[in-house]
A and B are shown apart, each in its own frame.
Chain A
Amino acid sequence: MTDVISTHAVAERRHSKAINRIIGRYWLVATLLVMIAVFAFLRPQLLDSSNIATILRSSALMAIMILGLTWVIAAGKIDVSFMQIAALGNMTTAWLLASGSGWTLAAICGVAVGAVAGLLNGTLIAILGIPALIVTIASGGICASIAAALGKGTSIRIADAGLLGDLLFTNWGPVPVIAVIAALFYLISWYAQEKLTFGHYIFAMAQNEKAVNEAGIAARSLLLFLFVLSGICSAIAGVLLAASLSSGQPMIGSSYFIDGLTAVLLGGLMLRIGKPNVLGTTTAILLLSVLVSGSAMFGWADYQRQIIKGVLLLVGVAVAMQFGHRSSSPMQGA
C-alpha cells in the first residue's frame, strides 16, 4: 500500500518536474508566439510580407553581430566592446570606399579590423588574465574613437552599396537572403555547440576555468578564439550595416548594445537554463525585433522601448538566477 502511494507520488513529482522543464525550456518561444499573436491581432499590418522581411532583416544583422558574444558570455566572460567593434568595421569599410577602393577590399579590411580588435581583447583577457570588463570597456573606447576619427566625427556617405547592398535587399518571398545566411550560420554554430567537444568546453569554462585547464584543454587558446570570433562577428555585422545604411556611422546604433546583451541573456533562459546558447539567442532576437516593430506601430518612443528592454533584461536575469545553478551563473564578476 505504502509502496503504491510512494510510487504514485514519485511519478507525479516526475510528471510535474517534466512539465516544469518543458516550461523552463520553451517559455521563450511561447512568449514570442503570444507576442506575435497579440500584435498581429491589434495591428494586422505586422504580418505584411514587407514588414516580415524588415523584421527578419534587422534580426539577421543583430544575430550575426552577437553570435560570438553568445559564446563569450556562455564561457563566463563579458565583451562590452562588440558594438564599437561593429562601428569600427562599419567606418573602416565606408572610409575605404570613400577613398576609392573596391567593395571586396573594403569589406575584407572591415572584417580584419574586427579580428584585430578581438585579438587584442583575447590576448589581454585570456593570456594576461586582466578582467574582461576593464579590457573591453577600454578597447571599446579605442575602437569608438578610431571610428569617429576616420569620419572626422561625422558619418561617411557611400555612393554605391555594391553587391552586398543587392544581397541585403534581395528577398525570397517574405524571407530576405541575409536571414537565410544568418540561419545557416546559426545552424552550423548550433552543431558546434551541441555535437562537438568545443561546445562542452565553452560551458565547462563558465563552471571552472582552472579545472578545464587542468583537464588538459587549452582553455586560454579557446578563450582567445572566442574573443577573436566575437570581434569578427561584430565587424561582419558592421560591414553589412554599411551596405544596408549606404553610409558609415561612427555612433552606429547604441541601441545594439543593450539589445545584444538582452538577447544573449534572455536566450540563456531557453533550452540550457542559465547558459547562453545560440538557439536561445535566435529566439530572443526575434522576440526583440517583433517588440520593436510592434511598438513602432503603436507609436511608442525610443526611450519607452529602452525602458521595456531594460526591464526585460532585468527580469530575464532574475529568472535565470532562479532556475539556474548559482555556481554556473553567467558573468558573475566577469
Chain B
Amino acid sequence: MPRHGILPAGTARLLAFAALVFILGAAFTAVEPRFLSTQNISAVTRHMAANGLAALGLTLVVIVRKFDLSFAGTACFSAMTIGYMIAGGHDLWLCIMVGVLAAAVVGAFNGMAISYFGLPDIVTTIATGSIAGGLAFLYSQGRTIFQNFVTSGILDLNDARLFGYSVSFFFLIALYAVAWVFMHRTRYGASFYATGENPVSAYFSGVPVRTYTMMAFVICAVTSVFAVVLILAESGTADTNKGATLLMPAYAGVFLGAALLGGTSVLATLAGTLLITMLLDGFSLLGVPYYYSDGVVSAILLTGVVLFDARVRQLFSDLASFIQPVTSASEKRS
C-alpha cells in the first residue's frame, strides 16, 4: 500500500473527512449555536494546538512501528522542571529550553534502550514514564508551583493573538508544515517510513535504522513538552499531573487520522486531532461532565479503527455480496 504522497490515500478519503467535519460542526451548531462563536472557535484552535503537538511526535514513533506510552509522564516531569525554573526566576525561554532538554534526555534513553539494546517498546516506555512521573514530584514534593508565573510571561503564550486566533495555533500549523515537508518531501522522511515498513531492507538500503528509531522517540518527547508548555500557559500553574491528559487525545488523533485517511502520516494526524478536538470541545460546550471525555475519545477511536480496518471492510463487502450476489452478477452479464 503506498503511504507517501500529498494525499495519503486518495482524494475520496479527504472529501469524506471534510464531509464528516462539516456534518459534525453542523450537528453541534444545531444543538448549541455557541459552537460557531468566535470565542469557541478560538478555544478549539487553542486546544487543538496542545493535542496536535503531542500527537505529532507520536506519529513519528508510530511510523517506525513502535509505541510510546511514556510521553505523558515525560511531559509531567518537564512541566514541573519548567515550573521549578520559572519559580526560581529564570528567563522564560531558558526555562522552556531546560524543559525540552530534560524531555529529550528521557526520549533518548527510551530510544537507546529500544533501538540499540532491543528492549520491548511498550514495557520500556511504561517503566520510563513511571520513573519520569515519579521524578516530577522531586521539585516540590508534589505541591503545585505557581510562583512567578504571572511575571514570567508564560501566560502571554496563551493570550497572544494573531488575526484573532491564538499564536499557539499558528505555531502548530507551522510545525506541521515543517513536519510535512520533512516527512513527505525529503529522503529523511522516507527513511522513517522505510524503518517502519521493513527495518532489514531499510538497513541494507543504507538507512541507519537504529538512529531513526531513536530520533523518533526523542522527537516524541520534545513535542510533548511543547504541548505541556501550552497547558502550563493556559492554567498558569505547574502540577505533577499536567501532562497526563495528553496521552488519550494523542493516541486517538494518530490512530483515528490513520484510519480515516488510510495510513499514518502528518496530515492524517492533523485531521484526526481536528476531529477529536472538535468532539471534545463540542461535548464540553454541551455541558457533558469531564469524566465522560476520555470515554468519548476512546469510543470514537475504537469505532474509527474498527470501521476503517481493512479486514472489517472486507467483511462488509463480503456480506453485501452475500446478500445480493445474483443481482450484481446478472447485471454484469446483461
Contact = CB atoms under 8 A, between A and B. Distances in A.
Interface string B209-224: 0000000000000000
A129 B315 CA distance: 13
- Which secondary structure dominates where chain B touches chain A? helix
B132 to A, nearest CB: 8
Contacts of B141: 301
Interface string A120-154: 00001000111001110111111011101100110
Contact of A128 (B121, B295, B309): B309
A309 to B, nearest CB: 7
Interface residues on B, range: 35 or more
Interface stretch (B34-42, B165-173, B285-293): B285-293
Contact of B295 (A133, A142, A329): A142
Interface in A109-128: 124, 128
Contacts of B293: 145
Nearest to B291: A148
B322 interface: no
A258 to B, nearest CB: 5
Interface in B212-271: 248, 251-252, 255
Nearest to A250: B291
A307 B135 contact: yes
Interface string B103-135: 000000000010001111111101111110111
A138 B302 contact: yes
B10 interface: no
B130 A78 contact: no
A146 B298 CA distance: 11
Interface string B146-171: 00000000000000000000000000
B116 to A, nearest CB: 12
Contacts of B138: 303
A321 interface: yes
A306 B309 contact: no
Given A313-B127, A317-B124, A326-B118, A135 B302 contact: yes
B175 interface: no
Contacts of A307: 130-131, 134-135
Given A134-B305, A303-B137, A310 B118 contact: no
A34 interface: no
Interface residues of A, number: 47
A310 to B, nearest CB: 4
B120 A329 contact: yes
Contacts of A309: 130
A265 B252 CA distance: 27
Given A134-B301, A146-B295, A326-B118, A261 B134 contact: no
Given A134-B305, A261-B126, A318 B291 contact: no
A311 interface: yes
B142 interface: yes
Contacts of A262: 127
A2 interface: no
A311 B113 CA distance: 13
Sort A-B residue pairs by CB-CB distance and give the 4 closest, nearest first. A145-B295, A141-B298, A148-B291, A303-B137
21 contacts: A128-B311, A129-B311, A130-B305, A133-B67, A134-B305, A137-B251, A138-B301, A141-B295, A141-B297, A141-B298, A142-B295, A142-B302, A149-B295, A152-B289, A261-B126, A307-B134, A310-B128, A311-B127, A314-B128, A318-B117, A329-B118
